[in-house]
Amino acid sequence: MRKKTGLTALVAFIFAFLFIPLIIIVVTSFGENPSIQFPIEGFTFKWYTAIFANGTFTASFFLSLQLSLMATGLALIVGIPAAYALARYSVRGRKWIKSFFLSPTIVPGVVVGYSLFQFIVIRWQLPVFQGLLLGHFLISLPYIIRVVGGSLEQLDFSIEEVAWTLGCTKITAFIKIVLPNITSGIFASFMLAFINSFNNIPVSQFLSGPGISTLPTSLMNYIEYNYDPTVSALSVLLMIGTILLMYLIEKTLGLASVT
């Protein structure tokens, strides 16, 4: 009985530690004081309107949206065939290949960002946007391979072989048989990769340049010189967007299947 009570208290403490700061952020986003304070004085929505009045935030939001969509789209184009090959065929060193593809999720983000900075900016000297796109593509690819690969491993490939015997080419069978059966996995992987790309800070910090900055990077730069509730309001909007996307993932594939 004491063990259950202690475990319950520990779980309650962990949840409080995680959620109380988020609640404070939500509350402070409605305060009238020009600086972030808790408890708040008064109630206003002006900090939410200030987000859209700030040209840097709006421009960086659309840049992040465009960058994340493009990077995730490219990751899908490369990741789906790669996941199919790893799940369908007995490739020599398959475990090592999977580990290589998943390495960006294991290595600390700062290390990944600095490594990409050395190769993309210093050695290859790519333009800023192309460098950002390549970096976000590399950090999005592991999510595509992992989630789509999990869906493919649960697929009965005999239905694809039946399609071959009925006259379908391998490409036609892949498009008409395999892809429709892993649609939920593709959608879930897209959502996870998109969220990771949109909210990424380490890679974006290293690869951003003059006039080109993602929303998380712009937010970090804004906090350096300002401490008003606009930061809290923008954080609340980002949390709401992330929660909505995670809700869609739960309804399509289930969070337990992708974590």
Q: Against a cut of 0.75, is the pTM above it? A: yes
Q: Are 147 and 192 in contact (CB under 8 A)?
A: yes
* φ/ψ (deg, to 5) at 125: 55, 45
237 Cβ neighbours under 8 A, 6+ residues apart: 48, 51
- Residue whose C-alpha is closest to residue 208's, from 73, 71, 67, 53: 67
Here the tokens at position 197 are 């790309």
- Distance separating alpha carbons of residues 233 and 26, to the nearest angstrom: 7
- Residue whose C-alpha is closest to residue 84's, from 175, 16, 17: 175
105 Cβ neighbours under 8 A, 6+ residues apart: 139, 142, 143, 146
Q: Are 69 and 191 in contact (CB under 8 A)?
A: no
- Distance separating alpha carbons of residues 46 and 31, to the nearest angstrom: 9
pLDDT tens per residue, the chain (259 residues)? 556 677 788 888 888 888 888 888 888 888 877 777 777 777 888 888 888 887 788 888 898 889 899 999 999 998 888 888 887 777 676 677 767 766 666 777 777 777 777 777 777 777 778 888 888 888 888 888 888 887 888 877 788 778 888 777 888 888 888 888 888 788 888 888 888 888 888 888 887 777 778 888 888 888 878 778 888 888 888 888 878 877 776 776 554 444 4
